[in-house]
Amino acid sequence: MSMSFKEIFKQVGESIRSLDFNTSIGVKIGIFLVVVILTVLMFPKGESIEFDYRIGSIWGGEELIAPFSFPIFKEERQYEREVQEAVRAVRPVFQRDDKIADKQIDSLRVLFGQIKATVDFELEYRERRETNRRDDDDYRARLERDSLLVEDIKGDLMVQFSSAEWEALKRMREGLTDFPVRSLQELRTTIESILRGYYRTGILSKSKQELVHDELAVRRNADEVMTPVHRFNDVSEVNTAFENALAGIFDMNDPRFEASLKIGSMFIVPNIIFNEEETERLRQIARDDVPRTIDIVLENERIISRHERITEDVKLRLDSFRRAKAERGGVINLWLQYFGKGLHVSIILLLYAVYFFSFRKKIFNDNAKLALIALIILLPVFLAYLTHAMNIDAPVEYLILVPAASMLLTIMFDSRLAFYGTVTIALLVGGIRGNDYTIMLVSVIGGALAAYTVRDIKHRTQIFRSMVFIFLGYSITIIALGLERFETTMAVMYEIMFAGANALFSPILTFGLLIFLERAWKITTDLTLLELSDFNHPLLKELSQKAPGTFHHSLVMGSLAENAAEAIGANTILARVGAYYHDIGKTEKPEYFIENQMGFKNRHDKLTPRMSSLILISHVKDGLELGKKHNLPKEILEFIPMHHGTTLISYFYNRALENKTDKDVINENDYRYPGPKPQTKETGIVMLADAVEAATRSIDDPSIAKLKATIDGIIKSRFEEGELDECELTFKDLNFIREAFFKVLVGIHHQRIKYPGQGAKDAEADKEIKEEFQPLGEDYSEKGAMPPEETPSGSVDDREK
């Protein structure tokens, strides 16, 4: 039975929701294809000549002979200038319409007829009201209706007059005004005469300020005459002239002046009309008449010789040859060329993708981070496209901010990923710039130095240190290539000036984008971690006040974790900051942890082993809730459950077994932390540092022998329990970690340590331990084959009790 559309859409929706977009291989392919397609579209059209041929440089290829005849095209900016000059030479076309004047004069006469009728009706109404003074209601109602009718008639006129102006018009109708205009008829004749004069001269539809030519092409019927602009008036000039003409007839305070000005202004309409369509047609003809070519290169004619200096004429030949090859390709060759460009870009990006798959699987499996890397790559690629499309006779290619992308990749990921990314970007940028070797080389050097300067960044302002290194990298490379190509000193200095702008803007852009990208992609950079390491952070401040013992324990752990991480090449800042926040959950019930009891009675004495274990385990959940409440990054939150992993709280488990009755059922899992086990080197280091710090602090009479035995025993314990199985720590890493722990703990306990020879007991113990640790994985590579020293039983759990 066929399915309905609703059911189909429902199944499609469920299928989409079931996809994990952050790990989907389809999304990875989509990101790859988007980058390839966008980059290919930004590649220059036509076949690229394999050498840089900037004006003044030396041709590095073989002698180039024309395989076919082709025209030499003008330089694009020169052609645009000629087109603009041709367009400016076209005079605007205006059409003279004599019917407009007649129409406006007729409308003027109609208006005066309406004014006369209105005045006559009002005079009749006034005479009737004054001569017949009846006192009945009907008569008064009729007068009121006539009064309202007069006002309605006045309101319907196209010109609105004031009361004084109406009185003046009524006086002219009655012939009671003075010379020179004594009646409405004379007023109409006067205004009409003035307006006809303006229409005979011509009123322009465009303001003279908008006209850039001194002459206009004025058409009248089938005739066209080039007429100077000054022979015409625009609307503003006519209005001013009309007002001055009336001022010569009436006093400006005379109501007849204002009434006449209102009437005449209504009929000042342009009769010289701008013909935009015809003007644009003539301009287009002028554009088309500008030749695009200046000469022709015949088949088998030499285009350029080997080692010839490139002049403006030679560059035009080379540009025209490349353009002609692209135009002769046809549709099939065009698609083949796009395929070749796509293959070119794909190879470059696939090499970078292989690096991710081989050495950065965690990033490779995170589509969000892959999308971010794609965005960072596309930024300088787009800038390369812009600099190529602008076609400016200046070394704008040095404004392609490859160093900014390198710094972003370094800060947000790591320097090795950034270096491979820099090489990838440089190859793409060089391809877009027409296989420009120069920009490839300077981009690699400038980007690599930029990545180097921020690889161990400690604060945001350190980014600006990169300015000097970027500038030096670009400058030295430009000078080297300039000497190789015999470029002039001025040309080299000009290029260095643009490189200096790049060195200035790249760190600034990096700083601005970093803040946005950190938040948008929720990536925890070293800069974010350094901000979290500030002891004024609310969580650390609360920890130091409510649980000072735990706070001190976290500080010592931070030192242990940082040194161990440095020893094995892990993220030192992440390990240290993770150690600071790993026990923040203890602020909820600090008095239940031994390091915060300060000699007071142990609260666990009155609790059952199960209840005590629940309280200890709860600090993990409390820590996660506090961390999320204060928006701690995911990378820091991982330390809270992982520093315990799934270890057993052996002290309370053993007590439960001792107190067990026949009816009791003791489940070992009830006394284990929920996990998960450490998933990264840093969380594994913090787990070991947590146990080592607690165990060594509980040693009453520390010595080198005891410290070594304790460290080695704890690493052995965690290893045998399988707590380190899911992180990336190797045997070699564990050797380096315990050596790093030992160095730090010797520094902490140096005032209490009895060195060999200070006591018979310690001397005997020291004799049993070699001067250096026995490397893990050499004499014992199996679980359980660790050195003979044993971990002090229950050291971590006793501390928590």
* Cβ–Cβ < 8 Å for 170, 123: yes
Integer Cα distance of 403 and 463 in angstroms: 11
Integer Cα distance of 244 and 260 in angstroms: 12
Integer Cα distance of 708 and 696 in angstroms: 10
Indicate the DSSP class of residue 605: G
Q: What is the pLDDT of residue 13?
A: 52
Element of type H or E holding 304:
strand 302-304
* β-strand partners of 204: 234, 272
pLDDT exceeds cutoff 90 at 680: yes
DSSP secondary structure string, 402-471?
Answer: HHHHHHHHHHHT-HHHHHHHHHHHHHHHHHHTTS-HHHHHHHHHHHHHHHHHTTT--SGGGGGGHHHHHH
Q: Taking residues 710-728, report their average pLDDT.
A: 93
Integer Cα distance of 568 and 680 in angstroms: 13
Closest to 435 in 3D by CA, of 424, 426, 423: 426
Helix axes 276-289, 76-89, angle to 10 degrees: 140
Integer Cα distance of 425 and 437 in angstroms: 13
Helix axes 184-201, 235-247, angle to 10 degrees: 140
Integer Cα distance of 777 and 734 in angstroms: 10
Put simply, whether the predicted model's pTM sits higher than 0.75 gets the answer no
Indicate the DSSP class of residue 94: E
Indicate the DSSP class of residue 591: G
Q: Taking residues 325-354, report their average pLDDT.
A: 80
* Cβ–Cβ < 8 Å for 766, 704: yes
Place 465 in a pLDDT band, splitting at 50, 70 and 90: confident
Q: What is the pLDDT of residue 573?
A: 92
Q: What is the pLDDT of residue 179?
A: 65
Place 264 in a pLDDT band, splitting at 50, 70 and 90: very high
Indicate the DSSP class of residue 58: B
Q: Where are the beta strands (DSSP E) in 89-158?
A: 93-96
Integer Cα distance of 303 and 301 in angstroms: 6
Q: What is the pLDDT of residue 763?
A: 46
Contacts of 433-436 spanning 24+ positions with Cβ under 8 A: 433/384, 433/387, 433/388, 433/397, 434/44, 434/48, 434/49, 434/52, 434/388, 435/48, 435/50, 436/52, 436/397
Place 330 in a pLDDT band, splitting at 50, 70 and 90: low
φ, ψ of residue 233 in degrees (nearest 5): -120, 145
Q: What is the pLDDT of residue 584?
A: 95
Element of type H or E holding 25:
helix 25-42
- Mind listing the pLDDT tens digit for each residue in 633-673? 999 999 999 999 999 998 888 888 888 766 677 888 889 99
Helix (H, G, I), strand (E, B) or coil at 361: helix
- Mind listing the pLDDT tens digit for each residue in 476-488? 999 999 888 788 8
pLDDT exceeds cutoff 50 at 779: no
Residue 300 falls in which region: left (phi positive, over 0), alpha (psi -120 to 50) or beta: left
**Structure tokens, 543:** 């920890």
φ, ψ of residue 49 in degrees (nearest 5): -80, 140
**Chain position carrying tokens 């992308």:** 405
Q: What is the pLDDT of residue 336?
A: 77
- Mind listing the pLDDT tens digit for each residue in 507-549? 999 988 988 898 888 888 888 898 899 999 999 999 999 999 9
- Mind listing the pLDDT tens digit for each residue in 150-182? 777 778 888 888 888 888 888 888 777 776 777
Indicate the DSSP class of residue 204: E
Closest to 414 in 3D by CA, of 452, 446, 455: 455
What is the residue-averaged pLDDT of the chain? 84
766 vs 241, higher pLDDT: 241
Q: Taking residues 741-764, report their average pLDDT.
A: 66
Count each helix (H run) and each strand (E run) in the chain, helices first. 32, 10
Integer Cα distance of 437 and 51 in angstroms: 8
Integer Cα distance of 151 and 8 in angstroms: 72
Neighbours of 293 (CB within 10 A): 13
φ, ψ of residue 96 in degrees (nearest 5): -90, 125
Q: What is the pLDDT of residue 768?
A: 47
Neighbours of 795 (CB within 10 A): 22
Helix (H, G, I), strand (E, B) or coil at 225: strand
Indicate the DSSP class of residue 227: E
* Cβ–Cβ < 8 Å for 518, 409: no
Query: Which range has the top average pLDDT, 114-118, 429-433, 635-639, 693-697?
Result: 635-639
Integer Cα distance of 783 and 722 in angstroms: 9
Integer Cα distance of 179 and 249 in angstroms: 9
DSSP secondary structure string, 495-530?
Answer: HHHHHHHHHHHHHHHHHHHHHHHHHHHT---HHHHH
Integer Cα distance of 64 and 329 in angstroms: 19
Indicate the DSSP class of residue 309: B
Helix axes 572-581, 548-568, angle to 10 degrees: 160
Nearby residues of 43 by Cβ (< 8 Å), 6 or more positions away: 341, 345, 431, 432
Burial of residue 300 (CB within 10 Å: 0-12, 13-18, 19+) is: exposed
- Mind listing the pLDDT tens digit for each residue in 374-395? 999 999 999 999 998 887 778 8
Q: What is the pLDDT of residue 442?
A: 95
